[in-house]
Structure 1
C-alpha cells in the first residue's frame, strides 16, 4: 500500500495536539514529531487554512480547529454502529437511570465513541474521545477477551499494565485468567478498577461475522450496586449489546441465562 509521508506527518500533528490541553508551539511539535521546523511549518499552515487547526497569535500555540467538529458530526451520522447504540442506549439509560458507553479498541487502549447519560449522576473517568487502558475497564476486558491468543500476548509484551486504582489488575497472569472468565460468562465487570467508587458492567458487540468490534458498558456508583440489582444490570448490558449486534447483522445470538453474585468472578 502506497503511503503519503506528508499525510502521515499531518496525522502525527493532530494526534499530538489531541493529547495536549494547552496546545503546542511549532518547536514543541517539531520535537514531539521528530520533524524539522521548516517542513512542519508548511503542514501546520495548511491545516490552519483548512480549519483543522487554529493558531493563537499571542502564545504561538496551535490547537485543534473547529473543522474537526464537522468531521466528528459526520462520523456520528454515518456510523451504523453509533446509530444503533443511540437507539438502544437512550431508552435503557432512562429505564435504569444509569449512564451507558460504547468503545472500540485501539492497541492497548479503549477509545470511547458513544455515551448516553442516565437520569442519575455518576462521576466517570471518560468522555467521548477519551482513551483509557483496556485492562482497567469492563469495555476493554471484553475487547481483549476475544482477541486471538497471539495478538493478546503481543499486546501484553509491550509493557507493564498500569494501575488506575488499587483494584486495577496489573499482573498479566491474573489478567489472562480474568479474560478467560469474561469469555466463559459473556460479560465483564470493572469493580472500582478505573475509578474506586464506580462499577462498570460490559458486554461485547459483534458484527455480522461474529467478530467483536466494540463493547457496551453500564456505569454505576458502588452505592447503587446491590446483590439484588447486580444480575439485573448484567442482563441489561448483555441484552443491549446483543440488540446492537443484531443491528450490525449478527444472527448467532446467545441467550444463555445469567447467574452472578457480588463476590463472583469477572
Structure 2
C-alpha cells in the first residue's frame, strides 16, 4: 500500500484499492503487512470506510470486503458510462493499423448511436459522426449489435426499424434481416455491403461482457475501391484484436453475470 499526498481521502482510497485487489475477504493483519500507515491510522481508516458502507466487516472472521454502498456506486457509474472513454485508445490504434475509419456505437431505441469515430487516413464523406443516430438494419455496426440481443429485446428493436431501401443491397424486411443475424451470431462478424450508403463498406463485431451481454460494437469502414469485399473481410483479425482489448478494458467496470457467453468460437 503506497502513501499518498491527498490527505485522508487519498489514504482511504488506498485502503479500498488494497481490499479490492485481494482475491477475497482480507484480514487486518494482512492489510497491515504492506501498509504505508501506522496501525492506528489503518484501523481508523477501516472503521470509517465500514461505517460509511464502503467496506463490510465480518465480525466472525475479522475480515473486510467491499461494501454494499461501494457496489451501488460502481453499478451506477457503469450504467451511466459511455464506452467511448474506455475504448478510444484502442480505436485510435485500429485506425492507424488499417488506415481506415473506425467507429464505436451503442444501441439507442433500436438505432445506432455513434459514440466515437477515429479517421486517420480515409477521407471520404459518410453519414456517421460522433453523436449522430443512424439505422441499425442496414449498417454493419448496427447488425452486429442486433444479432447479440436477447430475443425479447431483438423483437422490440426490429419493430423500431424503418426498412427503407437506401440502396440496391439494403435488406427491407425483418425476415431477411433475421436470416443474416443468424450468420452474424455464428461468425461474430457483420458486414455493410453498401447497404446504407453507396461507396461505403464496413466490417463490424459486437462488444460483449464475459456473460454475453451486448454493450456495443466496433467497426472498420472503407470503400469498395480501397478494399472490396475480400479486402474488408481480411481486416477481421485486427478488428477482433481491438474488440478483445476493449472487452478486457471494460471488464473491470462490470460484475459477473449468470448468462452464457453468446459469442461462437472463432
Q: Which band: TM-score by shorter chain?
A: 0.5 to 0.7
Q: Is 1:151 the equivalent of 2:157?
A: no
Alignment coverage as a number of residue pairs: 181
The 8 Å contact of residues 165 and 171 in structure 2, kept in 1 or not, is answered as: yes
TM-score, scaled to structure 2: 0.61
Following superposition, the deviation at residue 253 of structure 1 comes to 11
User: Quick one: which of 163, 181, 184 aligns to 2:183?
Assistant: 181
The 8 Å contact of residues 206 and 212 in structure 1, kept in 2 or not, is answered as: yes
Q: 1:119-158, aligned counterparts within 5 Å?
A: 119-158=121-160
State the secondary structure of the residue aligned to 2:244.
helix
Alignment deviations for residues 72-106 of structure 1 (CA, whole Å, 9 cap, x no partner): xxx9xx95722232111112211211010101001
The 8 Å contact of residues 106 and 217 in structure 2, kept in 1 or not, is answered as: yes
Following superposition, the deviation at residue 158 of structure 1 comes to 4.6
Q: Distance in 2 between matches of 1:144 and 1:227?
A: 22
Matching residue of 1:38: none
Deviates more, 1:218-227 or 1:192-201: 218-227
Matching residue of 1:21: none
Matching residue of 1:104: 106
State the secondary structure of the residue aligned to 1:166.
coil
Alignment deviations for residues 201-250 of structure 1 (CA, whole Å, 9 cap, x no partner): 11111235331111001000111114653343122222211210111118
Matching residue of 2:66: none
Q: Distance in 2 between matches of 1:158 and 1:113?
A: 20
Unaligned runs of at least 5 residues, structure 2: 1-76
Matching residue of 1:218: 220
Matching residue of 2:201: 199
Q: Is 1:237 the equivalent of 2:239?
A: yes
The 8 Å contact of residues 99 and 122 in structure 1, kept in 2 or not, is answered as: no
Q: Distance in 2 between matches of 1:173 and 1:147?
A: 16
Q: Distance in 2 between matches of 1:152 and 1:79?
A: 23
Following superposition, the deviation at residue 160 of structure 1 comes to 4.3
State the secondary structure of the residue aligned to 1:136.
coil
Following superposition, the deviation at residue 168 of structure 1 comes to 1.3
The 8 Å contact of residues 187 and 238 in structure 1, kept in 2 or not, is answered as: no
The RMSD of aligned alpha carbons is: 2.6
Q: Is 1:168 the equivalent of 2:177?
A: no
TM-score, scaled to structure 1: 0.61
Matching residue of 2:87: 85
Unaligned runs of at least 5 residues, structure 1: 1-74, 258-266
The 8 Å contact of residues 203 and 233 in structure 2, kept in 1 or not, is answered as: no
Matching residue of 1:247: 249
Alignment deviations for residues 90-136 of structure 1 (CA, whole Å, 9 cap, x no partner): 12211211010101001221100001112131221110111111111
Residues 227 and 149 (structure 1), Cα distance of their counterparts in 2 relative to 1, 3 Å cut: closer
Q: Distance in 2 between matches of 1:131 and 1:159?
A: 13
The structure number with the bigger radius of gyration is 2
